[in-house]
């Protein structure tokens, strides 16, 4: 066996765990996205008052639902709520 044969054999066998880990990570991300989608759809069952209590509006749900399946709508809702919160704080400082 030459050095090149040994090197190629080692590289090929070392790639197996990496590929398996990528598959496990991908499946974990798909499962997490599915769970977050289920939680997102439960938000749609809430009243407008309940949504306002957590800093969201019904329109925010319509914006986040347009993401592709691989996109996480809860991440989009979190960023919408954070921007709105920062804007409210900025406006409150101007008034005070």
Reported as a single tens digit per residue, the pLDDT across 48-67 is: 999 988 888 899 888 888 87
The tokens describing 59, both together, are: 């329109």
At 2 the pLDDT is: 60
Residue 58 makes CB contacts below 8 A (sequence gap 6+) with: 48, 51
- What confidence category does residue 13 fall into, taking pLDDT thresholds of 50, 70 and 90? low
How far is it, in rounded angstroms, from Cα 33 to Cα 43?
15
């Amino acid at each position: 066996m030459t050095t090149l044969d040994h090197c190629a054999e080692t590289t090929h066998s070392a790639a197996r765990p990496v590929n398996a880990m990528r598959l496990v990570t991908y499946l974990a991300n798909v499962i997490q996205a599915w769970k977050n989608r289920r939680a997102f759809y439960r938000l749609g069952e809430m009243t407008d008052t309940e949504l306002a209590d957590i800093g969201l509006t019904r329109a925010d749900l319509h914006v986040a639902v347009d993401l592709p399946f691989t996109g996480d709508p809860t991440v989009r809702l979190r960023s919408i709520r954070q921007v709105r919160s920062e804007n409210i704080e900025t406006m409150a400082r101007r008034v005070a």
